[in-house]
A and B are shown apart, each in its own frame.
Chain A
Amino acid sequence: DAGITQSPRHKVTETGTPVTLRCHQTENHRYMYWYRQDPGHGLRLIHYSYGVKDTDKGEVSDGYSVSRSKTEDFLLTLESATSSQTSVYFCAISESSRENYGYTFGSGTRLTVV
């Protein structure tokens, strides 16, 4: 997806290990989001950021932390991965908080915790 990249695209990790997923944008958008996608649940918001060093929790934030030291990068960290965190993770960006602005999603990171 133009302007937003996620890395890695796939990762397999062991239970109890730390994992960091990266979202990088070149659009200079203020808002960035991390969602997870699980069958039957659609996408659920984990954390979001409304500016450098400004972040807040979403609906499924337990076990996750985030950091945003630069406008272009938003990192999602699983401090100690668990099998319940096996999921597909999507990053999204938006230019404004106004709902009539569009959201752009990254291509996703498939994380498997074994």
Chain B
Amino acid sequence: AQSVTQLDSHVSVSEGTPVLLRCNYSSSYSPSLFWYVQHPNKGLQLLLKYTSAATLVKGINGFEAEFKKSETSFHLTKPSAHMSDAAEYFCVVTGHRDSSYKLIFGSGTRLLVRP
């Protein structure tokens, strides 16, 4: 079965410093992977997605993620945090081949950005 683990429930960084949000996945075949962001009391917005093309994926707002099959990881990074990045981030994997339209969410990582 597909699954995803977000290794940190909370991450705190200072404004202007790098961001690293960690995600490991489990999949019996090559999955599609996504990062979504949710700002307080808002819906979910797609940050970026990996669909078996380039392993380094660039998303919106300066975020990027690298798919590493050997490590089964899809960590989200940003070189310099901004106050507006404070939100909850979800790593997501698609279901198995016959249910690839289903999204399987990690438990989320809340990013705090200190001034």
Binding site for B on A (CB under 8 A): 1, 31, 33, 35, 40-45, 48, 50, 58, 90, 92, 94, 96-100, 102-103, 105-108
Determine if B103 and A40 form an interchain contact, defined as CB atoms under 8 angstroms apart: no
> A40's contact among B32, B36, B42, B107, by CB below 8 Å, is which?
B107
What band does the interface of chain B fall in when counting residues whose beta carbon is under 8 Å from A? 20 to 34
Residue of A with least CB distance to B6: A42
Residues of chain B from 41 to 63 with CB closer than 8 A to chain A in the complex = 42-46, 49, 51
Number of A-B contacts (CB under 8 A): 56
Q: Which residues of B contact A90 (CB under 8 A)?
A: 43-44
Determine if A100 and B49 form an interchain contact, defined as CB atoms under 8 angstroms apart: yes
Determine if B106 and A42 form an interchain contact, defined as CB atoms under 8 angstroms apart: yes
* In the bound complex, CA of A58 to CA of B95 (Å): 11
Q: Given A97-B100, A100-B51, A43–B42 Cβ distance below 8 Å?
A: no
| 8 pairs of residues in contact across A and B, judged by CB atoms under 8 Å | A42-B105, A43-B103, A97-B100, A99-B32, A102-B49, A103-B103, A105-B45, A106-B43
Determine if A45 and B43 form an interchain contact, defined as CB atoms under 8 angstroms apart: no
* In the bound complex, CA of A92 to CA of B101 (Å): 11
Question: How far is the CB of A14 from the nearest CB of chain B, in Å?
Answer: 24
B102 lies within 8 A of chain A by Cβ? yes
> B100's contact among A33, A44, A98, A107, by CB below 8 Å, is which?
A98
> B105's contact among A44, A96, A97, by CB below 8 Å, is which?
A44
* In the bound complex, CA of A87 to CA of B9 (Å): 19
Q: Given A97-B100, A106-B43, A43–B49 Cβ distance below 8 Å?
A: no
Residue of B with least CB distance to A48: B102
Q: Can you list, as one digit per residue, whether each of B60-96 has a CB less than 8 Å from chain A (1) or not (0)?
A: 0000000000000000000000000000001000100
Q: Given A48-B102, A99-B101, A100-B32, A105–B44 Cβ distance below 8 Å?
A: yes
Residue of A with least CB distance to B91: A42
